[in-house]
């Protein structure tokens, strides 16, 4: 799935205690720096009396990313970078983590903070349900009943999603295809029907959000 990438499906949170300090990790999907900033502010509003709100996020995926982190008053390099490192190594794109700390009265030291913030980031990603962002096209195919079973089987073999089937007059199937697989489907459809039937693209979406595993190649 080289043209797909994994994103967080929803906002989730975890909590852990390290030497009396309380670490609350909140993670979720963000698709722009503006959304990321609002996400950070929403966490701050949720925990207004916390000692620190340490964010890290990645917008995009692969070679086209915007990455950001901040220590939010913790010692330099002790908190934001460990969170960002975990996030960048997770395979998630369009993702943010904010780790909120309530200081428990005992200093953890630089090494202790690195481990604590890194572990807090790992804990929230471990429970994060996955979705994918992928380029798709919405397609309609109209056919005589005599072709229905064979074309339906071809659609299934191409791992497309059948969204609707109408049986008025001719049969019309509406489906969603990975954009990169559609041309081959169109070619196979033409061969199957001796050029009599062509699929019509009704819409395209280069950033379709789908449940993880919805398209299996």
* Cα–Cα distance for residue pair 28/95, rounded to 1 Å: 6
Q: pLDDT at position 168, please?
A: 87
Looking at the structure, tell me whether residues 88 and 33 fall in a common domain: yes
- Boundaries of domain holding 163: 134-211
Q: Is residue 217 a part of any domain in this protein?
A: no
Please, which residues have CB within 8 angstroms of residue 112's CB and are 6 or more apart in sequence?
Answer: 18, 19
Cα–Cα distances (Å) from 200 to 78, 131, 175, 182, 211, in that order, read 54, 27, 10, 11, 25
Cα dihedral 14, 34, 91, 211 in deg (nearest 10): 80
CATH number for 31: 3.30.230.30
Q: pLDDT at position 2, please?
A: 45
Residue where a domain terminates, one of 113, 128, 143: 128
Looking at the structure, tell me whether residues 104 and 205 fall in a common domain: no
Looking at the structure, tell me whether residues 31 and 110 fall in a common domain: yes
Q: Is residue 32 a part of any domain in this protein?
A: yes
Burial 51-69 (b: 16+ CB within 10 A, else e): ebbbbbbbbebeeeeeebb
Residue where a domain terminates, one of 81, 112, 128: 128
Q: pLDDT at position 216, please?
A: 56
Q: pLDDT at position 214, please?
A: 63
Looking at the structure, tell me whether residues 104 and 151 fall in a common domain: no
Looking at the structure, tell me whether residues 90 and 30 fall in a common domain: yes
Average pLDDT by stretches of 10, the chain with 217 residues:
77 96 97 96 97 96 87 96 96 96 94 97 96 92 95 93 92 94 95 95 89 64
- How many Cβ atoms sit within 10 Å of the Cβ of residue 187? 10
* Cα–Cα distance for residue pair 42/87, rounded to 1 Å: 20
Looking at the structure, tell me whether residues 119 and 138 fall in a common domain: no
Looking at the structure, tell me whether residues 93 and 24 fall in a common domain: yes
* Cα–Cα distance for residue pair 39/53, rounded to 1 Å: 11
Q: Is residue 197 a part of any domain in this protein?
A: yes
Q: Is residue 216 a part of any domain in this protein?
A: no
* Cα–Cα distance for residue pair 41/36, rounded to 1 Å: 9
Looking at the structure, tell me whether residues 104 and 35 fall in a common domain: yes
User: Coil, strand, or helix at residue 189?
Assistant: helix
Q: pLDDT at position 1, please?
A: 40
* Cα–Cα distance for residue pair 84/79, rounded to 1 Å: 9
Looking at the structure, tell me whether residues 117 and 148 fall in a common domain: no
Give the chain's domain count. 2
Looking at the structure, tell me whether residues 81 and 28 fall in a common domain: yes
Looking at the structure, tell me whether residues 189 and 94 fall in a common domain: no
Place of tokens 């900033």: 37
């Amino acid at each position: 799935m080289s043209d797909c990438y994994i994103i967080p499906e929803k906002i989730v949170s975890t909590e852990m205690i390290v030497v009396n300090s309380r670490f609350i990790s909140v993670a979720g999907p963000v698709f722009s720096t503006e959304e990321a900033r609002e996400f950070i502010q929403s966490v701050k509003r949720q925990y207004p009396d916390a000692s620190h709100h340490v964010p890290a996020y990645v917008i995009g995926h692969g070679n086209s990313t915007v990455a950001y982190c901040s220590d939010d008053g913790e010692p330099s390099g002790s908190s934001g970078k460990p969170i960002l490192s975990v996030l960048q190594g997770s395979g998630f794109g369009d993702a943010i983590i904010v780790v909120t700390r309530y200081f428990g009265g005992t200093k953890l030291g630089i090494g202790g903070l690195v481990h604590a913030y890194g572990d807090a980031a790992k804990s929230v990603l471990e429970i994060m349900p996955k979705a994918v962002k992928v380029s798709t096209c919405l397609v309609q195919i109209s056919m005589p009943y005599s072709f229905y079973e064979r074309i339906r089987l071809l659609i299934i073999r191409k791992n497309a999603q059948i969204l609707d089937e109408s049986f008025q007059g001719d049969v019309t199937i509406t489906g969603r295809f990975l954009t990169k697989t559609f041309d081959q489907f169109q070619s196979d459809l033409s061969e199957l029907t001796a050029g009599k039937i062509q699929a019509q693209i009704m819409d395209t979406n280069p950033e379709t959000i789908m449940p993880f595993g919805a398209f299996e190649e």
